[in-house]
Amino acid sequence: MSRPEQRAKGPTWEESLFQAFYRMIQTIRIHQDNNELVRICLDEFHNTFSKLDLEDDLVIQVSEGRFYIQGERLQFRKQIIRLIHAMLDFFRQRGLQGLRFHTGLLDAPMTELLTFVRLMIRSTEGEEPAVWLTQQLEGHQIPWVSIIKGAETKRRRIDSDLRKRAKTNYFHALSSVKEVAQKFSLQGYAGVRKAKRMVQNMVDCVGEEESILLALSSIKEYDDYTYSHSVNVAVLALCLGNRLGLSRNSLEHLGICGLFHDLGKVEIPQEIINKPGRLTENEREEVQKHPLASVKQILKLHATHDIKSKILLAPFEHHIKYDLTGYPELLFKKNVSLFGRILQIADVYDAITSPRAYRPTALSPDQALVTMLESSGTDFDPILMKVFATMMGTYPVGTLLQFDTGELGLVIDYLKGTAAKKPRIVLLEEDGEGNLKRGDVVELSEKDSGTGESRRKVVKSLNPTSLGIRTADFLL
Amino acid sequence: MEMPADTPNYPPEASSAAKGVVTSLLLAVKMFSLYADDHAHCRSALTRIHEHIESFLRDYGELVFQVEKSRLVFDHKGVYQGSEKEGDIAFALFRDGILDLRFQKGIEPEETRTFLRILDRYKTLPAEAEGDIVTALWEAELPHIRYQAADNILETEAEAEAKSLEKSSGEAKGAWGGSVPLEMHMIAENIMERAQGVKELPSIDLAAVQLTAEEARKLEEMVSEEEERDGTREILDMMADILRSQEDESFFGVVLDFLEEELSAALYSGEFEISFRIMKRVHQIRQLCEDYRPWALSLVDEFMGRISTADFLEPLGESLAIINESQLKMAGKTLYMFPSSAIGILAPMLPKAPSSVVRAVLSKVVEGLAARDFRPLEKILENGNEDLLCRLVPLLGHMKDNKSAQALLNMARHPSARVRRLGLKTVISRGLWAPERLMSLIDDESDGIRQLFLKYLGAHRSEAAETQLLIYLRDRKARRGDQKHLVACFRALGRCGVGKSLPFLQDTLLSGRWFSKFFSSPRREGAAAALAELGTEESEEVLEAACDSRYPGIRRAAQFAVSDGSVSEDMP
């Protein structure tokens, strides 16, 4: 295998190539094909590859938990360790042992490179991703790359396993938040072990199957609103954080922030919590103390100073707007942290899509997004809001759609590798007893083969709760 | 949670190699619990277990242990039998839900070390722990140590705990649950109000929410900042904002406790920008509380008291030794904001200061704190050892107040000659004038101190000094036999005298027994020298007369003094 000359300083050529490769996959995962950033990242990878001036193939291979490029081990340097772990997961999930890029890549059109990356991302759809990917590459006539399959190419977890595990995690997370809150009420302190484990599990899930978690976050529990709200906020924040490319450890802290952001509500008197009407000025003031109270509770957690430091800020900030208005009032603090801004978006989204005992309607998920986008730049960080909207899609998972065919359908997920633009819908059918049951699963983008027109057009979107539909019955 | 993989087929002899790994693992965990990581015992235990693992991997491939309640199983055979109690390795792994543990080829010593640390830390789990073996392994991301964990253990625990919580109080349950009015969420409430009555809006166009290249770049920056960020500064500002408006005394105290820990960490890791910020914020909060929250003042004062103790401050010496000049400057600014009681800890660091620059900063701090309240320094000056006092006395020279002046005068009369000399020098450099207080130095056992004191007395005209010297010389208290000292005393008298001593000097020069006037005498020579130093018309007249004396003893003394003039180079 040929090796380009090593540069003396800065990142090695292997690292530059690896970074370009990683960035290309991440960007294509998040953005649509026509996004400028996608073009930039494709160019970057292509240029990096061309500059190597290789005489023969470029081989990127995994062996014993390490990446090797042209047989040279990629060092676990601080700057790229996060990337390496993410890529190890990416390869592992697809049963890939490596990729061999032939020099033909130099002449390949960018659209082919884009197709290749999309196929790699989508490959987890198949039972045996590496086999599926090989077939797809042949089908798309992409000759400049070949797959080096691992010893174990069979996909380890199929969707139903993931779904089951995600669901279990969700409910464990719910019980761990409940437990912490109850412990605070009764004994004045609590540990974070279980919450931490649940969040770690969720972080693992979010890397593998975002849409399952997003589906779970559309569960709205009437009776235990604050608990399910906390878990939903954690889930939404984790999904957004994952989209942004945060490391596993940062995601862990972000998730714990989500679970505990409303912990301070244990201090709000029951009569206010359950008051059906408008709050008086005093009651509002009482309520507005809860971000501070959350900090107080977090400080009381049985945890090291280090972890407390990492999970204090965002709960404090989650009611402070992007323009720094909101509450609590600030004198010393001059900005809102990234975690705080993420949490705030997740928090508001879940709040306005959740029904209340005194107001059973809520905004439909897509309308919630549109309305939130209007407040971008004042209430919300405009960049994060865009990423959030892209992540949720035009019709977020859990949106109830009414079609021109008279059908009702619930968005259950998105096709993988499509940057969240093609929702899959479960049609809701009457069971003859006045209830709705699960019908066929269809794609919104389905066309009528005769007319070429969309099979179904959306007439309007609804919040499932407005029709008394419990999303959990159809999504889980 | 890691996922299971198939267990390899091992040859029969692999069992004994696996047992070898377990034995060395147990020993290594024991060593790690008894000694620091870098201790020779730990190092050799680490080497041993790592060699065992590598050797196994080389010979038989992946090493897999199944975990049961109190034992480790390898290839369906028990290779370790422990007990079902905290502290036992197998039990600890089982307790945290680990089903199997896999060591894979490529494992590096650092991974093994981290694994041992994790086992040591979590083999016993306290109630309400922060994490366990699984959470720690997850965070450590060891590429060649994999595991499969189940969460059913937590479920069982959760059920048991839920029961006990319900038992404790049915009422408390759900204190946080229920339906929360939307009004609790101001932003959400505003959005809902805005949305009400508005016709359904068109759904979002995903193309419109794509990030531009510039936004994507900003986002990347935001994320990498977040990843590398030390959020301490923001947390401190947050804490300050909380304290500013806090009416809850217990919460105020909790926040101060947190700040205390932050301060401790910052001081000992040499992050003096942070420590400075903490101190600055606490002072600001104290000021803000002065008018309407007296209870807060006492909490802040308690905080200040805690951070000024030996336990808190003594380890600071180590971090001061390794920081650069700009950090040192910041350290000085931080310490300057400590209460004066910190002098009790900071001052004793002076003799041990690792460099003159560090000493200079510490000295400045002690001086600054003493200027606010002199009592802590005064206490040390009363009891401090010679080395320490020699570091502290110069500081008194820079101070302006009366207390420090008094302390300095005391130092000039300290039992230690080193301290006395330094004290007197500092008295002189500070310009303190107290001849009466220091008169005992005229007979100091040290030549140097006596000479320095006479120089001090003769530095300027002073009736007080003249009086003291007159008394001393008239009463013939001068050290017997030390003629040089006697002459020096007379000279000092001449230098400080304002005329009051003229009769005495005239008498000393001219009078005496008839016989003695024929010979030289140190008193007479001293008086002549003093008259020359006095330099008044009257003193010169006396000297002139003496020069013409018919007694050679008088004449020679006067002539010598006149010719010697007021030359003072040889004066002490």
Q: What is the pLDDT of residue A418?
A: 57
Residues A455 and A328 in one domain: no
Domain ends where: B140, B155, B170? B155
Domain ends where: A368, A392, A416? A392
Cα of B1 to nearest chain A Cα, Å = 6
Q: DSSP string covering A18-76, please?
A: HHHHHHHHHHHHHS-TT-HHHHHHHHHHHHHHHHT--SS-EEEEEETTEEEETTEEPP-
Rounded to an integer, the average pLDDT of A44-60 is: 86
Q: What is the pLDDT of residue B452?
A: 95
Residues A228 and A357 in one domain: yes
Do B263 and B252 meet the contact criterion of CB atoms below 8 Å apart?
A: no
Phi and psi at residue A53, to the nearest 5°: 55, 50
User: Is B378 domain-assigned?
Assistant: no
| Banded pLDDT at B185 (limits 50, 70, 90) | low
Q: What is the pLDDT of residue B155?
A: 60
Helix (H) or strand (E) holding A425: strand A423-430
Pairing verdict, β A66-69 and A58-63: antiparallel
**Looking at beta carbons, which residues of chain A come within 8 Å of B179?**
222-223, 225, 273-274, 356-358
Cα of B358 to nearest chain A Cα, Å = 30
pLDDT per residue over B489-540, tens digit each? 999 999 999 989 999 999 999 988 878 888 888 899 999 999 999 989 999 9
What's the number of domains chain A is made of?
Answer: 3
Coil, helix or strand for B155? Answer: helix
Distances (CA, A) of A405 to A207, A352, A409, A427, B436: 36, 29, 11, 11, 113
Q: What is the pLDDT of residue A172?
A: 81
pLDDT per residue over B364-423, tens digit each? 999 999 999 999 999 999 989 999 999 999 999 999 899 999 999 999 999 999 999 999
Rounded to an integer, the average pLDDT of B135-144 is: 90
Domain ends where: B129, B155, B181? B155
Percent of chain B past pLDDT 90, that is, above it, reads 58
Cα of B19 to nearest chain A Cα, Å = 24
Phi and psi at residue A453, to the nearest 5°: -85, 160
Do B370 and B404 meet the contact criterion of CB atoms below 8 Å apart?
A: yes
- The CATH number assigned to the domain holding A327 equals 1.10.3210.10
Residues A252 and A315 in one domain: yes
Greater model confidence, A173 or A136: A136
User: Is A260 domain-assigned?
Assistant: yes
Token pair for B404: 């420090």
Query: A-B interface: how many C-beta pairs under 8 angstroms?
Result: 331
Best mutation target among B187, B236, B280 (most A Cβ atoms within 10 Å) is: B187
User: Is B353 domain-assigned?
Assistant: no
Domain ends where: B127, B155, B183? B155
Per-residue pLDDT at B162 exceeds 70:
no
d(CA B470, CA B450): 16
What's the number of domains chain B is made of?
Answer: 2
User: Is A254 domain-assigned?
Assistant: yes
Contact at CB, A223 and B232, closer than 8 angstroms: no
Rounded to an integer, the average pLDDT of A224-244 is: 90
Q: What is the arrangement of strands in the sheet containing A58-63, beginning at the earlier edge strand?
A: A72-73, A66-69, A58-63, A96-101, A145-149
User: Is B97 domain-assigned?
Assistant: yes
Contact at CB, A332 and B258, closer than 8 angstroms: no
**Nearest residue, CB atoms, A189 vs list B125, B128, B215:** B128
The one-character DSSP state at B348 is: G
Do A329 and A345 meet the contact criterion of CB atoms below 8 Å apart?
A: no
Coil, helix or strand for B238? Answer: helix
The one-character DSSP state at B416 is: S
Per-residue pLDDT at A348 exceeds 90:
yes
Per-residue pLDDT at A3 exceeds 50:
no
Residues A73 and A123 in one domain: yes
Token pair for B420: 């006395």
Q: Who contacts B84 (Cβ-Cβ below 8 Å, separation ≥6)?
A: B69, B70, B91
Q: What is the pLDDT of residue A417?
A: 56
Contact at CB, A197 and B226, closer than 8 angstroms: no
Per-residue pLDDT at B158 exceeds 60:
no
Residues A288 and A423 in one domain: no
Residues A333 and A454 in one domain: no
| Exposed / middle / buried, residue A7 (Cβ in 10 Å: 0-12, 13-18, 19+) | exposed
Q: Who contacts B229 (Cβ-Cβ below 8 Å, separation ≥6)?
A: none
d(CA B272, CA B525): 64
Helix (H) or strand (E) holding B283: helix B272-289
User: Is A107 domain-assigned?
Assistant: yes
- Say which residue the tokens 């919630």 belong to: A368
Q: Helices then strands (H, E): number in chain A?
A: 18, 10
User: Is B404 domain-assigned?
Assistant: no
Q: What is the pLDDT of residue B182?
A: 58
The one-character DSSP state at B340 is: G
What is the amino acid identity at position A277? G
Do B27 and B60 meet the contact criterion of CB atoms below 8 Å apart?
A: no
**Looking at beta carbons, which residues of chain A come within 8 Å of B248?**
296
Helix (H) or strand (E) holding B380: helix B375-383
Q: Which of A155-169, B118-132, B223-237, B283-297 is predicted with the least confidence, judged by mean pLDDT?
A: A155-169
| Banded pLDDT at B181 (limits 50, 70, 90) | low
Cα of A276 to nearest chain B Cα, Å = 7
Q: What is the pLDDT of residue B566?
A: 45
Residues pairing with A228 in the sheet: none
Q: Is B104 left (phi over 0), alpha (psi -120 to 50) or beta?
A: beta
The one-character DSSP state at A460 is: E
pLDDT per residue over A255-303, tens digit each? 999 999 998 888 888 888 777 777 888 888 888 889 998 999 898 888 8
d(CA A288, CA A268): 10
Q: Which of A151-160, A218-227, A240-249, B390-399 is predicted with the least confidence, judged by mean pLDDT?
A: A151-160
The CB density around residue A408, as the number of other CB atoms within 10 Å, is 21
- Per-residue HEC secondary structure of B532-565 comes to HHHCCHHHHHHHHHHHCCCCHHHHHHHHHHHHHC
Contact at CB, A383 and B211, closer than 8 angstroms: yes
User: Is A209 domain-assigned?
Assistant: yes
Per-residue pLDDT at A73 exceeds 90:
no
d(CA B206, CA B561): 108
**Looking at beta carbons, which residues of chain A come within 8 Å of B257?**
299
d(CA B563, CA B555): 12
Q: What is the pLDDT of residue B448?
A: 94
User: Is A7 domain-assigned?
Assistant: no
Cα of B144 to nearest chain A Cα, Å = 6
Residues A170 and A301 in one domain: yes
| Banded pLDDT at B197 (limits 50, 70, 90) | low
Token pair for A256: 């714990």
ipTM exceeding cut-off 0.85 for this assembly: no
User: Is B98 domain-assigned?
Assistant: yes
Q: What is the pLDDT of residue B342?
A: 95
User: Is B138 domain-assigned?
Assistant: yes
| Banded pLDDT at A27 (limits 50, 70, 90) | confident
Q: Who contacts B37 (Cβ-Cβ below 8 Å, separation ≥6)?
A: B113, B117
User: Is A2 domain-assigned?
Assistant: no
Do A279 and A272 meet the contact criterion of CB atoms below 8 Å apart?
A: yes
d(CA A286, CA A295): 15
pLDDT per residue over B252-297, tens digit each? 998 999 999 989 988 888 889 999 999 999 999 999 888 778 899 9
Q: DSSP string covering A246-286, please?
A: --HHHHHHHHHHHHHTTGGGGGS-HHHHT--SPPPHHHHHH
Per-residue pLDDT at A352 exceeds 50:
yes
Query: Least CA distance to A369: which residue of chain B?
Result: B204
Per-residue pLDDT at B29 exceeds 90:
yes
pLDDT per residue over A141-177, tens digit each? 999 999 887 654 344 445 566 777 777 788 888 888 8
Q: Which of A221-225, A346-350, B337-341, B480-484 is predicted with the least confidence, judged by mean pLDDT?
A: A221-225
Domain of residue A25 covers 13-149
Q: What is the pLDDT of residue B170?
A: 44
d(CA B442, CA B491): 13
Residues A259 and A374 in one domain: yes
Residues A310 and A426 in one domain: no
Q: Which of B127-131, B249-253, B349-353, B548-552 is predicted with the least confidence, judged by mean pLDDT?
A: B127-131
Do B127 and B43 meet the contact criterion of CB atoms below 8 Å apart?
A: no
Domain of residue B498 covers 458-572
Cα of A418 to nearest chain B Cα, Å = 12
Contact at CB, A372 and B191, closer than 8 angstroms: yes
Residues pairing with B14 in the sheet: none
Residues A371 and A410 in one domain: no
Q: Is B61 left (phi over 0), alpha (psi -120 to 50) or beta?
A: left
Q: What is the pLDDT of residue A77?
A: 64
d(CA A300, CA A308): 9
d(CA B555, CA B528): 10
Percent of chain A past pLDDT 70, that is, above it, reads 89
Contact at CB, B187 and A246, closer than 8 angstroms: no
Q: How far is CA A203 from the centre of its chain?
A: 9
User: Is B560 domain-assigned?
Assistant: yes
Residues A56 and A122 in one domain: yes
**Looking at beta carbons, which residues of chain A come within 8 Å of B262?**
305, 309
Across chain B, mean pLDDT equals 87
Residues A415 and A321 in one domain: no
Q: What is the pLDDT of residue B51?
A: 95
The one-character DSSP state at B62 is: S
Domain ends where: A149, A174, A195? A149
pLDDT per residue over A85-132, tens digit each? 778 878 887 888 899 999 888 889 999 999 999 999 888 776 788 888
Contact at CB, B179 and A222, closer than 8 angstroms: yes
Per-residue pLDDT at A344 exceeds 70:
yes
Greater model confidence, A344 or B106: A344
